[in-house]
A and B are shown apart, each in its own frame.
Chain A
Amino acid sequence: MNLNFLDFEQPIAELEAKIDELRYVGDDAEINIEEEITRLQAKSKALTEAIFSNLTPWQVAQVARHPQRPYTLDYLVRTFTDFQELHGDRSFADDPAILAGLARLDDRPVMVIGHQKGRDTREKLHRNFGMPRPEGYRKALRLMKMAERFKLPILTLIDTPGAYPGIDAEERGQSEAIARNLFEMAGLRTPIICTVVGEGGSGGALAIGLGDRTLMLQYSTYSVISPEGCASILWKSAEKAADAAEALGITSNRLKELGLIDVIVSEPLGGAHRDVDLMADRIRLTLKEELAALDEIPVDELLEKRYERFMSYGKFSEK
């Protein structure tokens, strides 16, 4: 695979380039090429481990937005089987920035809903860079309610820079669409597991992100505002995005410490894009495990616990 290396991965990129070169010269060299390649590969792996064990929040944000980062569709065909996409909000349109439909998690039918980004320019535009409009959230809500009726668990995959800031989105009630989902998700009588697989961008993420469990892939991010947005407002300069990322605490580790998420799904060395199959499988296993735990809880108790969970968010002092 031709990997796109990020800035901070340059030392790895150089090593990998060297390995490639060695492969080219392969036959006519006198030294034992294979041995050298193995040695360099081990070195590359050690280097990757070293770099990835110590990423700054801003570097994590780069991994979460990596051009080869697996998107919802990549998981839909690996983590799940029999995916049947369902379209439309029944009142205005179908929003390609949110994918939703029935699928099986091993044998069990589930409702999967996720943001979808595009890979090439055409698809990026088609998917609106994963930024939903109100009809996307309303489609999600329609299908969540359907899942409730047919007693299917709801599994959401979150990966969006945020809800679309556009004229049409405002006209059709972006605020109301998000608010309505939050309102309804609090009371859906079926287990909900939300997994942040890439970018968890603010209200646009939360609108399919409230449930009984919140999972995050190791190098995904979840934040009230993008580091760039925060930097340009509070520091008056988008250049300070790295500082903002640090202050906002957007990484899975930090959010787990703060008690805002439940489970971190570890990623393959170098990030999910290095081994999509492995990542998809880990997600499958984690979802099964979490779902099994939620199955044990009677639905009234589940809702009570979900409510308590929401009420527990935020710390303050009281005199």
Chain B
Amino acid sequence: MSWFEKLMPSRIRTVPGNKRQVPEGVWSKCDGCSAVLYRSELERNQDVCPKCSHHMRIGARRRLDIFLDPESREEIGEGLEPIDTLKFRDSKKYRDRLAQAQKVTGEKDALVVMRGKLLGIPIVAAAFEFRFMGGSMGAVVGERFVRAADTALEHRIPLICFAASGGARMQEALFSLMQMGKTSAVLARLSAEGIPYISVLTDPTMGGVSASLSMLGDINIAEPRALIGFAGPRVIEQTVREKLPDGFQRSEFLLEHGAIDMIIDRREQREEIGNLLSMLTHRS
């Protein structure tokens, strides 16, 4: 509290932050440029700020809904549910954290997989739900990813995965680490069979998910300004004890350093990825 605020009698003091609060549902504030946006306009724009093109984080189902053709969608692995093998308990029980995440997101776990079409091309698409425990990868995420890849293999159709994850799920301990091996191994099969795999890295993609399935695309694509890396920026800062360069671990940084093939605006992804796939699969 500043000296000025201290002098002020409490009845004329206003709580900062309250006055500019945006009513929920109708208006949204852009995290990039702080512009107040009409919610339905933002939705029409695929949750990309019409003023500054900031790409907001979106849920897995919305992601797939935007990306896939509306007809002939079929969910894969929806019956899979996480179990707490280790009876893991930190400040909260893992079981309670799961129940909470399931309630908030309406999902059983952090990856949603669908078979469907992109501009008429049959594909399998997977998307991470970041709001589900930070999109962390445990056994169900690993298994659903494998089933997505298996479906792609079986029907010889491309696989596309939209990553958004903090990494491996600590509450599943070493089991979650092994999901990195599991998902990478199935991608090796896909690759050997000549089935295209396109990885789309969205904000944020870190840790074990970054260091496995999401860096292994035949083509790696990122959304603009997404945070992508192995170690988190805070951990790096503490380790090297220097300030991180501007734009460090952002999509543009990765493109410059050769880690990804391209950056594609969300609103153009259907067209562009469809075009890439049609070339990889020799369609006209």
Q: Which residues of B contact A217 (CB under 8 A)?
A: none
| Contact partners of B143 in chain A: CB under 8 A | 314, 316
Q: Is A253 an interface residue (CB 8 A)?
A: no
Cβ of A179 under 8 Å from chain B: yes
Q: Is the CB of A174 within 8 A of B188?
A: no
Bound-complex Cα distance A73 to B86 (A): 35
A51 to B181, CA, bound (A): 36
Give the contacts of B230-277 with A (CB-CB under 8 A): 230-232, 235-236, 239-240, 242, 244-245, 248-249, 257-259
Q: Which residues of A contact B (CB under 8 A)?
A: 163-167, 169-176, 178-180, 182-184, 186-187, 202-203, 206-207, 210, 222-225, 230, 233-236, 243-244, 247-250, 255, 258, 260, 307, 310-311, 313-319
Indicate which residue in B85, B89, B231, B239 contacts A315 across the interface (CB closer than 8 Å): B85
Cβ contact within 8 Å between A224 and B239: no
With a cutoff of 8 Å between Cβ atoms, the chain A residues found around residue B86 in the complex are 247, 249, 258
A173 to B228, CA, bound (A): 10
**A307 contacts across to B, CB distance below 8 A:** 185, 189
Chain A residues in 8 Å Cβ range of B244: 167
A-B residue pair count with CB separations less than 8 angstroms: 195
- Contacts A313-B142, A313-B182, A316-B139 given: A178-B212 contact, CB under 8 Å? yes
One of B23-31, B113-121, B169-177 at the interface: B169-177
Residue B279 is within 8 A (CB to CB) of chain A in the complex: no
Known: A170-B249, A175-B215, A310-B185. A318 touches B177 (CB 8 A): no
Contact in complex: A313, B178 (CB < 8 Å): yes
B154 within 8 A of A: no
Which 6 residue pairs across A and B have the least CB separation, nearest first?
A314-B139, A165-B231, A182-B184, A313-B178, A234-B90, A186-B185
- Of the candidates A163, A165, A207, the one having the most CB atoms from chain B within 10 angstroms of its own CB is A165
Interface string of B82-120 (1 = CB under 8 A from A): 110110111100000000000000000000000000000
